[in-house]
Structure 1
Amino acid sequence: MGAQREPRGFPEGRRTVICRNRMILLVILLAALAPQAFAKDAITLDNYRKARKAVAEALEESGGMEVLDRARGIALKGEGTYDLSVRLQGLHPDINEPVPITEWLVMSTDGRLAYESDMLVNSDAVEHIRYIYDAGQPTLILDLINRGAFWDAGPGLEEQAGRYARMVPHVVLTEAYNSPSLRYLGWGGEHVVSFTLASGETLTVTIKSARLRKVEYLLDMPLLGDAAVRWTYDRYVRVDNLGAYPSHVTVHLADRLLKDIRYTDIQTNIGDHPLWSVPEDIEIPKQPKLASATEAETTAPGVRQIAEGVYDIPDLRAGFHVLIVEFDNYLLLVDAPSGWYEMQQLPAMNWASGETSGSIGQRFYDTVTRHFPGKPVRYVALTHWHSDHLGGIRPFIAAGASLIVSPVTRDVIMNVARARFTLEPDGLPLEKTPQFMVVDGELTLNERGRRVKFIDVGDNPHAAGMLVVWLPAEQILYQSDLFEPRSRGFPAKQHIPVMRWFVNWLDESALRPETILAMHGAGKVTPDQLSEMRVLNELAASLQTTSSP
């Protein structure tokens, strides 16, 4: 055998010494770092305790941790104003439109909550509605104008109720105090703390002189993108069994005053409050079973043919039926819906559950590109500037579609394109400039026998710059929000004024449509529904003639 070689590397003894030295070095390093780690933990713990102390002082000023239980619930009545323009639902986007609002909130200690509001939701439509939440049960919703009722059995009802419950400052403070995510952000004459809700939103809370002053959060808002929402509390009063309570609350959306409310009646020991009951003239439908999250999952939207080359997508979002017109080499779409935030809640929740500001528009785009392969979306016509009809436009801008709009809607879209959407990023770069075809009275697309006319209806009760879409060969008229053809309970009282206006406009125009399609309701207007509005117009004209001197 040949001579054995020594193993490569260090001799055994030397390796042992080096390993020992490395161990010693590691121990020294850990010893050096340990005070920093302990200091960091101490700072974090100190921060948490500081935040908790500030919140505890505000809770004490409000009656203490268990005050709502001792008070046996709370009932509020508030009166004030709500700005439809700030809410992106008014007559004109640049003109403030504060309208009266009255709201009620009742919250018991056994898991029941009721919220009711009476207000204009558009310039032409009043809504008076009540939500009754009961833990573990579907939510009963009362339409107090049309004297109807229906159930919401979908998932997330407990979370909905919780967002209304945070209208009560004590609920926000209690959640903050009990949250392991509570952090102290600073002191500049005010304590500023933050905490994260189970739903993922972060609330920033400002406390001054042991009283809640502000609650702020960020919202992915259709048309606005990243938007700050701020609730401000002042004019504290002493309430029996409750402690200090703010009698005045304002809500700002993107630094514009949305809501200004004064609580004129604050009660405790509520017992059997009237908001729990249902008026005798309202029939309650059979109560359904609660749906699971799996059962509530939405199916992919389907495309339905209406006439040769004319289609719609029913319920792209529940109650929104969008129009598609097919040309030889491209597509025309009408409107780009988005979700809807309930701004009375804290924080606001998207009623289109699971949606972001742009997800419905993206689903619309994906559906048409899948169903009509090889035919790009060249045009998107937008009937008016309201957020629920316009908020899904960004995917189409990114794809290079030209937008057929009124001058009012064009100005809104320019702001949409420049807005930052970092909370829920989409594919639209900031440098992308929208391409427009602006309707000045009328505008017509005409290609190989397919004609589509876009008509500005002029001054109307719903929104400035309102367009309708007319297909003369097919005798089809498409409109949004000017006529709602409900399949049951027609006519909805709140929509009668604008529907009467639309019928007058239609009868004075040169249009004689065989089919009138609608974005909302059943999606198609019946002759009987048109006749019913004409009868109301004739009756009004007759009464006016009779009363004239």
Structure 2
Amino acid sequence: MLRLSALTLALLPLIALADGSAGNPETLTERSNAKAREVLDATVAAMGGAAAIQGVTSVRLTLEGETWPRLQMTTPQAPFQSGHSKETLLLDLSGSRLRLETANSGAGFEGHNTVVLKRGEGTNYDHRARVATAVPAAQASQQQFVQYQRRLPNLILRQALERGTSLRYLGEDVLDGAPHEVVTFVMPDTQQVAVYVDAKTRLVSKYELAFTDPLAGEEASEVLFGDYVDSGGIKVPKRWEFRQAGETASRFAARVEINPAVDDAAFEVAADGYAKAQAVASELPQRVEQLGEGIYVIQNVAGQNQNTLAIAFKDFVLAVEAPGSSAGADRVIQRIKETLPGKPIRYLAMTHHHGDHIGGLRSFIAEGATVVTTPGNRAVVETMAKAPQNDRLAKSPRAQEFLFVEKGRRVVSDGDRSVEFIDVGPHPHAREMLIAYLPKERLLFQGDLFAMPNNDAPPGPPQESSRAFARFLAERKLKVDRIASVHGRTVTIEEFVQAAAPGEKAASR
């Protein structure tokens, strides 16, 4: 009779695992990864095959069409007047080089820029201002190339093939009436991407990223692809659409070249006579700028290049602008309390309805501040206050209160200090647009009417938005010495006139 020792008995489970005689059931993660790989393999085959996709060394992509940027239009509600954009992207994947030329117009602004990144160095050429600005090394890194690979489904699939361990199967969904399978993976820049694959054609219909929308809470940012054609043995889209929170933000016609010939000259820009400017710091310093007794600009605390004005009255504080997010606004509120202790923030004024200017509004409502705005913005504020966000207002709900600027002007005063809110609209950037004017201090605070660069670059030719603002100041004969801004640094009236209305004289002193 065979007898086994205690040690042998203890080792039996390990021996069984080693020879495969005991099961090792797959986990949910393993099953999800395996299913996602099946979907990816079928999609890669339909798009041209793994060898062709992995053999892409260069891409030229041109996108041109209309834009309707969410929460960046002249009015908070439709109908919206579209802008125009053209983008030409040249990617040299094997040489780690990129050239991106953009030309866009809308809402009182025009832009024409070319960005060149190559081998860890970069330059931004502003063709309107005729200035070449160095791109910080951190922004010219290889990781920065990854976001541009999301311009095309082929390059997304290439990334998915290289990062197979992060693949997961999300399930089935319906897009535009057609069944789809959805897989997700993490790209090198840490963005988690969800890819929608048409169950019939096996082509990529769209990809999604998650983001927090000021009005709708957690939402999807989507890029949709369509009208596929063959280019060098690879399927590429002719239609390209960008949506945020279900709304179309841009709709472009796409032209794609796979593996076009590239040389060094393709990454050079004719910039004779362009001024050279220093790189803008990757992290602008957080600081509190004092503009007078009890008057402060809280700079870069809500977010990069996002400022809030804080004004002390006898018994309260008035803040102007809530940019960024709820988390950023919480930091601003804390800085205001440290700078002006012992006084409640009674009012929060918003210059206009654009998302980067009201993203932190919910925190000020939670703080108990009354919202100062124009009547046309009431609905957007109420919608934002009800948005399903995980912040202070969600945890301690509070009804918003309004102080409206009607007939173009409203004054907040305690008998000693006064702030005038003046509607400069209708303006090219927003139909209703407030400025905060302190007549006694000859100081003005504004958002998006004018901005001075955060480096030594010249501002360039005046934008339509700035020209309209300069005309408004001249017509109203406002006595102003300094202009502080939501974006950019505080300037003197002389600097503003020189930049926004060359050849004109500053307002009479």
Q: TM-score, normalised by structure 1?
A: 0.79
Q: Residues 216-257 of structure 1: CA distance to partner in whole angstroms, max 9, x if unpaired?
A: 2211234543121122211111112x4111111112111111
Q: 5 Å matches for 1:7-26?
A: none
> Where do 1:362-377 residues align within 5 Å?
362-377=330-345
User: Match for 1:419: what amino acid?
Assistant: A
Contact 2:66 2:82 in 1 (8 A): yes
**Cα deviation, residue 171, structure 1:** 1.9
Deviation per residue, 1:431-464 (Å, 9 max, x gap): 3221211110211112131111111123111112
2:245 maps to a residue whose letter is: A
Q: Quote the RMSD (CA, aligned, Å).
A: 3.2
The one-letter code of the counterpart of 2:76 is P
1:513–1:529: structure 2 CA closer, same or farther, 3 Å change rule? closer
- Aligned runs of 1:33-432 on 2, under 5 Å? 38-41=24-27, 44-67=29-52, 70-84=55-69, 86=70, 88-95=71-78, 96-108=80-92, 109-120=94-105, 122-135=106-119, 137-153=120-136, 155=138, 157-177=141-161, 178-187=163-172, 189-208=179-198, 209-240=201-232, 242-272=233-263, 276-281=267-272, 283=274, 285=276, 299=285, 301-316=286-301, 317-338=303-324, 357-422=325-390, 425-429=391-395, 431-432=397-398
Query: Is 1:452 the equivalent of 2:389?
Result: no
AA at the equivalent of 1:194: T
- Give the CA deviation at 1:69: 5.8
1:520 is matched with which residue? 487
Other-structure match for 2:3: none
Counterpart for residue 547 of structure 1: none
The 8 Å contact of residues 67 and 249 in structure 2, kept in 1 or not, is answered as yes
**In 1, Cα distance between equivalents of 2:265 and 2:395:** 52
Q: Is the 8 A contact 2:207 2:223 kept in 1?
A: yes
Q: 1:490 to 1:151 in 2, by over 3 A?
A: closer
* 1:167, distance to aligned residue in structure 2 (A): 0.9
CA contact (8 A) 1:78 1:263 kept: yes
Q: Partner letter of residue 434 of structure 1?
A: Q
Distance 1:532 1:51 in 2: 55
Of 460, 474, 493, the residue aligned with 2:441 is 474
Q: Structure 1 386/273 Cα, relative in aligned 2: closer, same or farther at 3 Å?
A: farther
Distance 1:516 1:48 in 2: 56
Question: In structure 2, how many angstroms separate the alpha carbons of the residues matched to 1:50 and 1:148?
Answer: 51
| SS in structure 1 of the partner of residue 227 of structure 2 | strand
Q: Per-residue displacement from partner, 1:251-299 (whole Å, max 9, x unpaired)?
A: 21111111211113524233127651121326474888x99xxxx6665
- For residue 386 of structure 1, report the CA deviation from its aligned partner: 1.2
Asked whether the equivalents of residues 77 and 266 of structure 1 are also in contact (C-alpha less than 8 Å), the reply is no
> 1:131 touches 1:140 (CA, 8 Å); kept in 2?
yes
TM-score by length of 2: 0.84
* Cα separation, partners in 2 of 1:323 and 1:213, compared to 1, 3 Å: same
> Partners of 1:102 and 1:427 in 2: how far apart?
40
Amino acid in structure 2 at the alignment position of 1:249:
W
One-letter amino acid of the structure 1 residue matched with residue 314 of structure 2: D
Counterpart CA distance in 2 for 1:268 and 1:496 is 38
Code of the residue aligned with 1:378 in structure 2: it is: R
Query: The residue matched to 2:123 in structure 1 has which SS?
Result: strand
Task: Identify if the C-alpha distance between structure 1 residues 66 and 455 changes in structure 2 by more than 3 Å, giving closer, same or farther.
Answer: same
Measure the CA separation in 2 of the matches of 1:268 and 1:311. 54
Give the 3 Å change call, closer, same or farther, for CA 273–53 of structure 1 in structure 2: farther
- Give the C-alpha shift of residue 103 in structure 1: 0.8
CA contact under 8 A between 1:234 and 1:248: conserved in structure 2? Answer: yes
Alignment of 1:484-499 (within 5 A): 484-486=451-453, 488-493=456-461, 495-499=462-466
Q: Secondary structure at the match of 1:57?
A: helix
Cα distance in 2 for residues equivalent to 1:274 and 1:76: 18
Residue of structure 2 in register with 1:463 after alignment: 430
Cα–Cα, structure 1 residues 315 and 169, in superposed 2: closer, same or farther, change >3 Å? same
Task: Report the alpha carbon displacement of residue 311 of structure 1 after superposing the two structures with TM.
Answer: 2.1
Distance 1:39 1:519, change over 3 A: closer
Q: Is the 8 A contact 2:445 2:483 kept in 1?
A: yes
Contact 2:284–2:304 (8 Å) recurs in 1: no
Q: Answer whether contact 1:303 1:311 (CA < 8 A) is retained.
A: yes
Structure 2 Cα separation of the partners of residues 69 and 185 of structure 1: 25
Moved more, 469-478 or 451-460: 469-478
**Equivalents in 2 of 1:321, 1:44: separation in Å?**
44
Structure 1 residue aligned with 2:467, among 484, 500, 509? 500
- 1: CA distance, partners of 2:305 / 2:193: 32
* Shift of residue 412, structure 1, vs aligned partner: 1.6
Relative to 1, partners in 2 of residues 1:514 and 1:326: Cα closer, same or farther, differing over 3 Å? same
Residues 26-37 of structure 1 correspond to what in structure 2 (within 5 A)?
A: none
Indicate conservation of the 8 Å contact 2:424/2:469, yes or no: no
**What is the distance in 1 between the residues matched to 2:213 and 2:101?**
24
Corresponding residue SS for 1:215: strand
Alpha-carbon shift at residue 48 of structure 1 (Å):
2.4
Contact 1:236–1:245, Cα closer than 8 Å, also in 2: yes
CA contact (8 A) 2:43 2:202 kept: yes
Supply the distance in 2 between the matched residues of 1:207 and 1:359 (Cα, whole angstroms). Answer: 35
- The percentage of counterpart residues that share the same residue type is 26
Q: Would the aligned equivalents of 1:483 and 1:499 in 2 still touch at CA under 8 Å?
A: yes
Provide the secondary structure at the position in 2 that maps to 1:180.
helix
Q: State the distance in 2 between where 1:532 and 1:44 align.
A: 58
Residue in structure 2 matched with residue 436 of structure 1 by the alignment: 402
